[in-house]
């Protein structure tokens, strides 16, 4: 273990509440972490006119990883918070993989009747730096009857190949199944190109069984037959939508983590919960910190601290399975801090047990 340098950006709303608990849990398993907090948020935007300072990328470049809370607040348009902070960081640090594991955790219930944890364990690999999330385009003839907007998508060979190959690698590690989200029947250029790249790379992985499904049919498959799915790869927009749907059917967004991954490790990766900032419940001590804590486990795994990551993941599962400490969204009365403390205590116990066994 080493004193990793980690940056936190708590952001807005409940992002502040849940990030504090994730830090608490990570400190419980690796006590020599060195944290630096950055107050970049929509509040910062209203004060300074920017989500982060002009040298924000440079300030973060030297850290080993970044833990992000959530951004967004009434009065600040969502595209401001997204394009002023998240997307610039994802692109600057080569975080072209958005990894979203979605599973039914112990002690929680699916929105789907009769589904168990065996049916709901899916890994969504989302392209994170190009695709439909492009700034190319604009509004024309504004204010006139012939006003129109043009929005371009960008699908490069490099971008498609690297995200699809990453998904094949993860599928090969898991069940050997990979499903690609497409819409080539209606989107005439980008999706047939995506399909062709997928088919070409599939030839390199004969051990992986593949499917290609139109995204609307795949959304239905997630609800009707989630047990038939394991790893899903999709473009930026499709991956975003499908991962939120998958999280909703596996217990809710308060339980779903995500990672913005730089697989080559040429820059820091960034980890966050899937949920938003929920300003209506911010500061009330009732937000569920599990998604952010599991994002912290993903951060530890990326750093190569697998034992610590496993301790955090197991601690979450153990505390939820016991059912004694739950936030209101899970049917309990515990506060954000109480659930975070319970998970931290269990994680510390598991980490100590592992360390003692290794010494023995």
Name the residues annotated as catalytic.
133, 183, 216, 240, 244
In 3-state terms, the chain is what percent helix, strand and coil (to 5)? 45, 20, 35
The answer to whether the CB of 33 falls within 8 A of the CB of 27 is yes
The Cα–Cα gap between 175 and 15 comes to 34
Q: Are 58 and 329 in contact (CB under 8 A)?
A: no
Per the listing, tokens 């012939």 go with: 146
CA–CA distance, 252 with 263 (Å, rounded to integer): 27
Return d(Cα 256, Cα 84) in angstroms, integer. 24
* Gap between the Cα atoms of 343 and 347, Å rounded: 6
CA distance between the termini of the chain: 18
Residues 6+ apart with CB under 8 A from 74: 279
Q: Quick one: how many helices (H) and strands (E) in the chain?
A: 12, 12
Instruction: Please tell me the number of Cα atoms within 13 Å of 237 on its side-chain side.
Output: 14
Question: Cα 263 from chain centroid?
Answer: 15
C-alpha of 322 from chain center: 26
Q: 3-class SS at 332?
A: coil
**Whole-angstrom Cα Rg for the chain:** 20
Measure the CA–CA gap between 19 and 290, rounded to whole angstroms. Answer: 10
Q: Which of 94, 73, 97, 96 lies closest to 84, judged by CA? A: 73
- The values of phi and psi at residue 266, to 5°, are -85, -5
* Phi/psi at 6 (5° precision): -120, 140
d(CA 201, CA 150): 32
């Amino acid at each position: 273990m080493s004193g990793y340098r980690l940056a936190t950006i708590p952001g807005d709303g409940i992002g502040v509440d849940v990030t504090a608990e994730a830090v608490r849990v990570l400190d419980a398993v690796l006590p020599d972490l060195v944290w630096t907090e950055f107050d970049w948020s929509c509040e910062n935007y209203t004060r300074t006119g920017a989500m982060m300072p002009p040298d924000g990328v440079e300030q973060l470049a030297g850290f080993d990883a970044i833990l992000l809370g959530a951004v967004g607040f009434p009065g600040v348009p969502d595209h401001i918070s997204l394009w002023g902070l998240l997307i610039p960081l994802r692109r600057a640090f080569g975080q072209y993989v958005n990894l979203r594991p979605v599973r039914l955790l112990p002690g929680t219930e699916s929105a789907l009747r009769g589904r168990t944890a065996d049916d709901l364990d899916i890994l969504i690999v989302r392209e994170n730096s190009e695709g439909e999330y492009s700034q190319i385009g604009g509004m024309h003839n504004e204010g006139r009857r012939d006003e129109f907007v043009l929005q371009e998508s960008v699908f490069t060979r490099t971008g498609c190949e690297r995200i699809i190959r990453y998904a094949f690698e993860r599928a090969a590690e898991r069940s050997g199944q990979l499903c690609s989200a497409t819409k080539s029947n209606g989107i005439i250029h980008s999706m047939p190109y995506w399909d062709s790249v997928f088919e070409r790379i599939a030839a390199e992985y004969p051990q992986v069984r593949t499917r290609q499904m139109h995204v609307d049919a795949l959304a239905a498959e997630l609800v009707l037959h989630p047990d038939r799915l394991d790893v899903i790869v999709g473009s930026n927009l499709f991956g975003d939508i499908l991962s939120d749907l998958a999280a909703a059917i596996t217990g809710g967004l308060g339980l779903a983590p995500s990672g913005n991954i730089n697989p080559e490790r040429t820059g820091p990766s960034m980890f966050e919960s899937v949920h938003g900032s929920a300003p209506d419940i911010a500061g009330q001590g009732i937000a569920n910190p599990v998604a952010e804590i599991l994002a912290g486990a993903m951060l530890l795994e990326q750093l190569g601290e697998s034992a610590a990551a496993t301790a955090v993941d197991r601690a979450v599962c153990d505390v939820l399975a016991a059912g004694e400490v739950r936030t209101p969204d899970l049917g309990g009365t515990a506060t954000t801090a109480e659930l975070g403390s319970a998970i931290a205590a269990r994680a510390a116990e598991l980490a100590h047990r592992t360390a003692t066994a290794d010494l023995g």
